[in-house]
Chain A
Amino acid sequence: MGYTFQFGVIEANFDHFLYGLALGLALAFAAILVGTLIGLACAFATMGKVPLPSRLVGIYVSAIRNTPLLVIILFIYFALPQLGIRLGKLESFVFSLAIYAGAYLTEVFRAGLAGVPRGVIDAGRAIGLTGFQLALYVISPIMWRNCLPALGTTFISLFKDTSLAAVIAIPELTYQARKLNTETFRVAEAWATASVLYLATCLLIAAGLRQLERRFPKF
């Protein structure tokens, strides 16, 4: 073996690691925000009586869910400029992750909508709410509570997926670990630190979500 651990390099570069971690969290947060908008729009679109929107949403969801995220990222970053759509690194990554998340969140919101009891909707209609008011004041609050656990797990897996940003040279945590690895050859230290940071963050988010779920009791 003959490998001695030297965590001095990690200590000296720890601010880079933390910066990478923060960037990853920010990317995941931006992606889940945009993804939620896409998911909500798609889920409500399938609720209507016209068959065409449901058909289109179905194609979108199955196309995205069956394509690897890395291919989507590379396609949007490298291939879209050929069509004249030129995005910056960060924008293109957030966009890729958002349409990826949107497909999964469509399913999440659809399940959440299906979990809204019929009687509540009828009650809303009985007191004369319009369709929009019904969606805003009656259906959404129950739907959000139904979706909370799934939204949480989606956020955690999106945060883990931000590691793919390293492939298009966005300086997040995996990129930093790789950089330190090649610059200093402290291989074991670099990957151990990155792994522990990812793991700790995921556990923290999961714990926070459990608290949140306890705050909002199930309907």
Chain B
Amino acid sequence: MEHFLHELWIARWALAQGLLLTVEISAASILCGSLIGLLAGIGLTYGKWPLRLPIRAAVDSIRGIPVLVLILASFYLLTFAGINLTAVESGLFALSIFCGAHMGEIIRGALQSIPVTQIDAGRAIGLTFPKILIYVLIPQAMRQIMPVWVNTGAELVKASTLLSVIGTGELLLRTQEIVGRNFMTLEFYALCGFLYFLINSVIERLGKFASRRFALQ
């Protein structure tokens, strides 16, 4: 135990950096992904078919490919499209489109569950479609989106571990490096798992709070 604490003290900055990068990557990809998802969801629900078809194809393809393959493919392939990104950036790209596809479906589901009469009512009082969207539809859809959105956040924190495969120095890769130095596999992998558990527990709590906050009274 004393030996472990000694090694932990040596590794403290590496772990802290990894933890910070994990949180940063997750937060950034949730933000970008939600934005993509919002646009995709609106397009899927209210778009005409020339708009809906390509979005549907993209969303279904992304959802049918494993995240690890998405990450590796964007790491290796974006270079050929003439876009030179670092490992962190291409990982961020992969996680964002992954999150975007899932959020797109969630938001489509939420928007479709709102009665069409709400749009008619909005039109009747003279609102334009963007205004109907912002003031009428999205606030109502939020109630369904919020709990699932938080879940997606926890999924993304878990998916961010996959970035270790392309050499992004997040928590898991830092742990692997530490283990490679001191061979304390059991202790440090357990610690790493526990840290992820902590992050996700916090997110889970937030989710419970959010679903209570947005619940229909």
Contact = CB atoms under 8 A, between A and B. Distances in A.
B196 A66 contact: yes
A66 B204 contact: yes
Given A78-B185, A83-B186, A195 B65 contact: yes
A40 interface: no
13 contacts: A66-B197, A67-B200, A72-B193, A75-B190, A78-B179, A79-B189, A82-B185, A163-B69, A166-B68, A181-B76, A191-B77, A198-B64, A199-B61
B172 A71 contact: yes
A68 interface: yes
Given A63-B197, A66-B201, A71-B161, A164 B77 contact: no
Chain A contact surface mostly: helix
The 8 closest A-B pairs by CB, nearest first: A66-B200, A163-B66, A68-B158, A160-B66, A199-B64, A191-B73, A202-B64, A68-B161
A164 to B, nearest CB: 6
Interface centre among B64, B82, B154, B200 (most CB of A within 10 A): B64
Nearest to A66: B200
Contacts of A199: 61, 64-65
The B contact surface, by secondary structure, is: helix
B72 A191 contact: yes
Interface residues of B, number: 37
A219 interface: no
B64 A68 contact: no
Interface in A103-146: none
A128 B214 CA distance: 46
A23 interface: no
A71 B192 contact: yes
Interface of A: 1, 3, 62-63, 65-72, 74-75, 78-83, 160-164, 166-167, 174, 177-178, 181, 187-188, 191, 194-195, 198-199, 202-203
A17 B179 CA distance: 33
Contacts of B185: 78-79, 81-82
Given A67-B197, A82-B185, A163-B68, 14 more contacts: A62-B201, A67-B158, A68-B157, A70-B161, A82-B186, A160-B64, A161-B66, A166-B68, A167-B165, A177-B69, A191-B69, A191-B77, A194-B73, A195-B69
A174 B67 CA distance: 11
A80 B185 CA distance: 9
Interface in B46-94: 60-61, 64-69, 72-73, 76-77, 80, 82
A181 B67 CA distance: 18
